[in-house]
Amino acid sequence: MAQDVTSPDKYDRFIQKIDHFQSLVEEKKNLQAKIAQMRDEFNATIRPLENDLAGIIRNLETNLSRLESGAPVKASSPRISRGQLGTAVKDLLRAHPAKAFKPKEIGDALGTTGGAFSVWFNKYGVHDNDIERIPTGKEGKRFLYKIK
């Protein structure tokens, strides 16, 4: 059997496949080298910035701890119990019978918050006949308080 010399035989096809495989391996190695180089450049660029940022954060934390430790602590007034709050509110309103107070004004005068007064009034003072609740504003959601 005579074989045509111009047509590739099984060995030629095997060599062609290996050559193609080797070219893919070389391309993979080149890409890995490029990626490694880009990572090194990235790290070289970002590392100084990260170090600067870490230094600034350290300075901020140091200064913050100095500010927090050096800040005067606000002296808190003693808490008022529910019964005492009601009595204190009535005493305040009786001391100024002509004036109508906002919740914030009552809270400031008694050393508590206006919210604490509003919560107390909505829970306990609504049924109190001594305190008059005067609606203000269009929607009637805000009130002034006065002694009757």
Residue 130's pLDDT is what? 86
pLDDT (tens, 9 = 90+) of the chain, 148 residues, equals 555 667 878 888 888 888 888 889 999 999 999 999 999 999 899 988 888 998 899 888 888 877 777 655 555 566 776 678 888 888 889 998 899 999 999 988 888 888 888 888 888 888 888 888 888 877 777 888 898 8
- Please tell me the total number of residues recorded for the chain in this structure: 148
Residue 28's pLDDT is what? 95
pTM given for the model: 0.46
Residue 72's pLDDT is what? 55
DSSP the chain: -PPPSSS--HHHHHHHHHHHHHHHHHHHHHHHHHHHHHHHHHHHHHHHHHHHHHHHHHHHHHHHHHHHHHSPPPPPPPPPPHHHHHHHHHHHHHHSTTPPBPHHHHHHHHTS-HHHHHHHIIIIITT-TTEEEEEESSSS-EEEEEE-
Which class is domain 82-147?
mainly alpha
